[in-house]
Each structure stands twice: as structure tokens, then as C-alpha cells.
Structure 1
């Protein structure tokens, strides 16, 4: 078994070629394939070959490579002939964020007027004091990360 692989993980099995997938891209450290439950036709998942359950487990350089591959796939979707008036890149980290398979994966999917994808949120403008306090909390988290 490859280093960092998880025998019970579907995405690891796909990365090893042990489970069926409609592959779009294969690199040494990243693989991309069609989502079995696409939001729109052309919905691709970009995953690291090495198992990483969430962002905490994913080395930053490998994360950057995921986004680089996703960027390329997004550009390819616009040239694919599929209906594509826009592109979303979506990463869910953790169950509360709707991550269903505990292996980091970046969704890349075409968007068009009237498609079925929705994000419902409270998009209210916040006051500067609240935003400044929240920014301070994020800076503190970054400082803690830098000290580990």
C-alpha cells in the first residue's frame, strides 16, 4: 500500500486504480475524476493520492497542487463544449461543512443560469467592530499555527 493510503477510503482506492472512476487527470500526487452524483454535467473531484482526511492533514504544498489542477480543469470545462457559463471550486472540510467522504477533495463544476446548485446563507452586512474582532481571532489562529 502506498504511503499515506487508507485501505477503507474510496478515494484512496480510486487513486490506486482499485475502484472504478471516470478519470479526467492523473498526476504523481493528484488525481481528478467525475463525481458520481454531479451537481451539473462536468462535475469533477480533484483529490490527493495520499490520504488526508481534512485540511489539517494536508501539506500546504499538496493543497496548492490540488488548486492548480482544479484551476486547469476549470479552464478545460470552459473549452469542453459542456454547458459552462461559470465555474465553482468548492471544498468542504469536516462534517459540519458537508464533507461526506473523509478524504480531502475539491469539487470543480460548471455553472449556468438555472442550474440546481444553491448555497443558502445569512448574507447580511456586518459592522466594522464585529469584522475587526473576527479578523483578530483569525490572526490569533494563524499565529498559533505558525508557532507549531
Structure 2
């Protein structure tokens, strides 16, 4: 995986929005404008899909505070794992709860709070491939790329903020990706 990029580390406004918008949010921010397509009042987490009791506890705490883990600034107490790379529209962070069989597990997270990658603007969607290339660096080995779109209740995911999983196998066995967090 690539070394962290340099540049601004300020992020979007934090927390859930009050409803869908058709473009960037307005008002002062410390980073780029943030698009949102979240359903008002929809849960931020799906604890029934969690793999560990630690995930369930963390989700309960964040949900109670109305905090989306992926909307927080990178480096904050709720911003995800270690920052690997960032661009104007994306952050790449280590997964705090990596999948078994993965030597590396990085999450590509859009700064915009959306549940479907197609709800991102054209520039953000195009930039996804740039951040993936940065994360992969010069590596030519095998990796998996997985993404769930839509409400997490129906996808097997645990958070209502679209993100991609970049998984590098540990070499002991083929890395099998399932689109369900079923144990």
C-alpha cells in the first residue's frame, strides 16, 4: 500500500445532515463542500450485521450521539482507522475491524454522506480510481475490491455511508469476499 499523501487534512462538516440535497451543503466548512443523499431519520448503523461485540458497542455509542463514523474528520476519535491517503473527495483509512484472511484491509470512504456511489458527483466518482491507484501504489499483487450500495439493512453492511473495501490476501489462502457480514 502507498504511503500517506500530504496536503490538507481538514475534512467535511461532521454528523448527519437534516435531509437530502441536490448538491453541496452550504455554510462554512473547513474542507471541500460535502454532498449528501442520506435519508432523514434513517439509522446510521446496522448492528445486526456486525461481526464482533466491539463493533456493536461502538455503533451503539455513535448512533446515540448521531455521529456517522465516516463523516468525521480523519484523525478524530471517530474518523476510522489510520489515514492511508486522501484526496478532495475521498479518504482511505485502515479498517479497525479487518476481515479474516486479509493482510491489508483499507476502506475508501467518500467525504460525502451517501449510501450509493451513484449519488456522488461526477468529479468524486472519477476521483475514486485515483485514490485506489494511490492506495495500491506500485503493487501488482492480487487484491479484492468490494462495495455495498443502499441501506445497510439490505446489503449486509454495518454503516449507512458507502465505502469500498480494498483487501490484500495474507497469502495463506485465497481471499474470499462475501457481500454479507454473516458469521
**Global fold match (TM > 0.5):** yes
Q: Structure 2 CA distance, aligned partners of 1:23 and 1:16? A: 7
Normalised to the residue count of structure 1, the TM-score between the two structures is: 0.62
Q: Structure 1 CA distance, aligned partners of 2:148 and 2:105? A: 15
**Residue in 2 aligned with 1:22?**
82
**Residue in 2 aligned with 1:4?**
34
Task: Provide structure 2 residue ranges, at least 5 long, that are not aligned to the other structure.
Answer: 1-12, 14-28, 37-65
2:82, 2:94 within 8 Å by CA — same for their partners in 1? yes
1:46, 1:108 within 8 Å by CA — same for their partners in 2? yes
* Correspondence 1:89 to 2:120: no
**Residue in 2 aligned with 1:109?**
167
1:25, 1:32 within 8 Å by CA — same for their partners in 2? yes
Residue 32 of structure 1 and its aligned partner are, at CA, apart by 0.6
Normalised to the residue count of structure 2, the TM-score between the two structures is: 0.51
Q: Secondary structure at the match of 1:51?
A: coil
Q: Deviations over 1:51-77 (max 9, x none)?
A: 22222422232122123211332345x
Residue 16 of structure 1 and its aligned partner are, at CA, apart by 7.5
1:92, 1:99 within 8 Å by CA — same for their partners in 2? yes
Greater RCO, 1 or 2 (C-alpha within 8 Å, sep 6+): 2
RMSD after superposition: 2.8
Choose 1 or 2 for highest CA Rg.
1
Q: How many residues align?
A: 114
Q: Point out the structure with the larger helix share.
A: 1
Q: Secondary structure at the match of 1:28?
A: coil
Alignment of 1:111-130 (within 5 A): 111=169, 112=171, 114-115=173-174, 117-119=176-178
